[in-house]
Structure 1
Amino acid sequence: MMQLHLKKYILPLKHTFRISRESHDFQDTLIVCLSLDGLTGYGEATSNPYYRITVESMTAEIEAIQNEIMNFEFTEPEIFHQFLVEKGLTNFAICALDLAAHDLYGKLLKKPLYKIWHTNIDSYPTSNYTIGIDTIENMAAKIQEMPWPIYKIKLGTKDDIAIIRELRKHTNAIFRIDANCAWTTEETILNAPLLKDMGVEFIEQPLPADDWEGMEKVMHKSVLPVIADESCIVETDVEKCGLHFSGINIKLTKCGGLTPALRMIKKGKEMGLKIMVGCMTESTVGISAIAQLLPQLDYVDMDGALLLSSDIADGVKIESDGNVIFPTLGGSGITLR
């Protein structure tokens, strides 16, 4: 019989994290612990005001079916995931449970997930490090404080081009831009060549999530690739994004965990899309799950634990050059502190 434990943590951030629509100094997160045969798997999902998800709402959902989860005959994460979908849980709650199930499964088999999936870690993309919206001086200071090979710069201000122009003076690193739905079609098309000249690799979600007509124009006229984030939430979004974006950014919390993410990666690749997986300021619990997907990705944004002033778990470690140290423990390799 599986044992289930839920833990709420408040993760403190090193800096106030601001994007075009919100800012915060702490991140609430739910850790799910699933135990079987003396081993425990850990999963995570953070709260999110944009999607109206709180730790309390996720906890209530999971506790409502706690007995059914504990009596579930666990064999494979995919079968467990299907059971959770049929129970009507939100994707955030399903994600936390699915990540815990995968971690537990790998620990039971004594194999990291990337090996179970027949991928190897000889080659993988480097994670970007995110610079949230702030004064230009503070954004420049953050870059100097955290030298990194790739930065994701959050934009959506009246000074967006000036910000990149100033930040470029402080580093030769690759830049990626994330406007979090804050730009217009015309703004995106006009900004793209200026940003390209300043070493920007791609633009993430410039327009509101449902502006498909605007994105079609951007796709035809932008000199930079455009990656979907808020427009690509669940599996059924992948096909639609294929006509309007160069690639997709998959978030485990939004799609419902590793099980659907693996299918989204496969579908996206079949369509010729670039594949990215992003984080939602998770601790090392969530980041270690993302890291198992690395060999399958073109880009990754897994800096969540790096943005924290203190962490709650051990697992995958990211070094200052972007190199990843994978634990030898099975599953996602997580131990809770």
Structure 2
Amino acid sequence: MELILRAYNLQLKHTFTISRESIDFQPSLIVELKSDGFSGFGEATSNPYYKTTVPVMMQDLEATRNLIESTENETPEAFWAKIYPYLQHDMFALCALDLAYNDWYARKKGKKLYELWGYSPDKNPMTDYTIGIASIEKMVSKMQELPWPIYKIKLGTQEDIAIVKELRKHTDAIFRIDANCGWGVEETINNAVELKKLGVEFLEQPIRADDWKAHKEVYKHSVLPVIADESCIIEEDVAKCHHYFHGVNVKLVKCGGLTPGKRMIEEAKKLGLRTMVGCMTESTVGISAIAHLLPQLDYVDMDGALLLAQDIATGVTIKNGIIHYSELNGTGVTLI
């Protein structure tokens, strides 16, 4: 098996701002695995919050190159378990590798990934489209630029309720709110009351990740469901979130790929938690991998490629929130 690494700097259509940062470009690593006439593709992006960079990911994958390239016909589960001890310090790199291996394995089996897993896409949820923090006028403009059935609105400003009230004047779409750890307990509980009146479906990670006492208070008193993101990183975190959140947002780059991501979703469903998968402004490479988990999800945020000025791959396509699979096997990705 041959390991190929490609670094990109993905340009965004608009400056993307959340409560803790703003970006115009998103560095990304594409992993390709080639063997037996098939290629599989995976992706992970850099993220300062998780102290992850593309050069570090490349360095860590190079350090495990011999182990990766000696792999022959192992299941994705066996491959992940073999590589995990060497990359457990770099889940983002492990994710890109795991996505590529799952893609390659399914292509070799002659199936789309969701078919290999035995999933039925008949009732797939629609994806939201994210409106990053900006002036109210700019946020309205970005929403009008792309009419959509569900919007995820980034908040964490001094005028959060005013923003949502103004956006509501321009659309009947479902709203989801992501404060990215930017609120306090009373602020969250009070905001939830007003936001519910404005057609908000749920709140995502309003409180800082490690304040479990605060999460419990919000869980007990919020009139809106609260979904964990920064508080749910790896497999062990799903059980921690039970009775502290109403659901979990599984990010593949944070947990180490599709293989552990599937296990996290299964665990969440057993515990009665709502299931969601989110993205990190990946290209269509990473987004196409997420798409194959849709049959197991209540919600999905996989709009990353829609935020780019120019994509680097083809795969799944998204129209008005509905995800359409590629005709190709695996995750359906082809690099442009």
Task: Name the TM-score class by shorter chain.
Answer: over 0.9
Amino acid in the other structure paired with 1:254 = K
- Answering whether residue 202 of structure 2 is matched by residue 202 of structure 1, we say yes
**Equivalent position SS for 1:275:** strand
Q: Deviations over 1:258-295 (max 9, x none)?
A: 00011001000000000000000000000000000001
Match of 2:327 in 1: 328
Q: State the alpha-carbon separation in 1 of the partners of residues 43 and 222 from structure 2.
A: 36
CA contact (8 A) 2:87 2:93 kept: no
Which consecutive aligned stretches of 4+ in structure 1 deviate over 6 angstroms post-superposition?
Answer: none
Residue 244 of structure 1 aligns to a residue in which SS?
coil
Counterpart position of 1:31: 30
- Tell me how far 1:83 sits from its aligned partner: 1.2
Deviates more, 1:62-71 or 1:163-172: 62-71
Give 1:88 deviation, angstroms: 3.4
What are the superposed Cα offsets for residues 232-270 of structure 1, whole Å, 9 maximum, x if unpaired? 000000001012000000000000000001100100000
SS in structure 2 of the partner of residue 115 of structure 1:
helix
- Aligned partner of 1:269 in structure 2 is 269
Q: Measure, in 2, the Cα distance between the counterparts of 1:155 and 1:219.
A: 19
Partner of 2:57: 58
Aligned-partner Cα distance in 1 for 2:202–2:321: 19
Deviations 1:1-53, CA, capped at 9 Å, x for gaps: x0110000111100000000001000000000000111100000000000110
1:18 maps to what in 2? 17
Return the alpha-carbon distance in structure 2 between the equivalents of residues 14 and 83 of structure 1.
39
Read off the aligned partner of 2:93 and give its amino acid letter.
A
- Give how far 1:190 is off: 0.6
CA distances 1:191-235 after superposition (whole Å, capped 9, x unpaired): 101000000000000000001001101011000000000000000
Deviates more, 1:327-336 or 1:145-154: 327-336
SS at match of 1:282: coil
Separation in 1, partners of 2:264, 2:104: 22
- 1:76: how far off? 1.0
Match of 1:106 in 2: 106
Identity, in percent, stands at 60
CA distance in 2, matches of 1:154, 1:88: 32
CA distance in 1, matches of 2:113, 2:54: 26
Aligned residues: 335
User: Partner of 2:130 in structure 1?
Assistant: 130
- SS state at 1:87 partner: helix
Counterparts of 2:298 and 2:128, CA distance in 1: 12
Q: Map 1:248-287 to 2 at 5 A.
A: 248-287=248-287
**Following the alignment from structure 1 to structure 2, what is the Cα–Cα distance between the partners of residues 24 and 214?**
29
Q: What residue identity is the alignment partner of 1:35?
A: K
1:214 counterpart = 2:214: yes
Residue aligned with 1:171, SS: coil
Is 1:8–2:7 an aligned residue pair?
A: yes
CA contact under 8 A between 1:74 and 1:80: conserved in structure 2? Answer: no
The letter of the residue matching 1:190 is N
Alpha-carbon contact 2:127-2:323 (below 8 Å) kept: no
**TM-score (norm: length of structure 1):** 0.98
The one-letter code matched in structure 2 to 1:135 is S
Deviation of 1:73 (Å)? 2.3
Equivalent residues of 1:110, 1:329 under 8 A apart: no
Mapping of residues 284-303 of structure 1, within 5 Å: 284-303=284-303
- Letter of the 1:19 partner, please give it: I
2:315 equivalent to 1:315:
yes
1:81·1:259 contact (CA, 8 Å) conserved in 2?
yes
Q: What are the within-5 Å matches in structure 2 for residues 58-97 of structure 1?
A: 58-89=57-88, 90-97=90-97
Structure 2 distance, partners of 1:327, 1:73, is 27
Corresponding residue for 1:236? 236
- Give the Cα separation in 2 of the matches to 1:202 and 1:262: 23
Matched AA of 1:3: E
Q: Could you tell me how far 1:84 is from its partner in structure 2?
A: 1.3
User: How far did residue 333 of structure 1 move?
Assistant: 0.8
Note if contact 1:47-1:54 (Cα within 8 Å) is conserved in structure 2. Answer: yes
Give the whole-Å Cα distance in 2 for the aligned partners of 1:68 and 1:124: 36
Deviation string 1:131-170 (CA, Å, 9 cap, x unpaired) is: 0000000000011111000000000000000000000001
Q: Distance in 2 between matches of 1:160 and 1:201?
A: 16
Instruction: Give yes or no for contact 2:60–2:87 (8 Å, CA) kept in 1.
Output: no
Gapped runs of 5+ residues in structure 1? none
SS in 1 for 2:141: helix
SS at match of 2:29: strand
Q: Is the 8 A contact 1:226 1:247 kept in 2?
A: yes
**How far did 1:74 drift?**
3.2
The residue type equivalent to 2:308 in the other structure is: L
Gaps of 5+ in 2: none
- Give the match for residue 227 of structure 1: 227
Query: Which sits farther off after the overlay, 67-76 or 125-134?
Result: 67-76
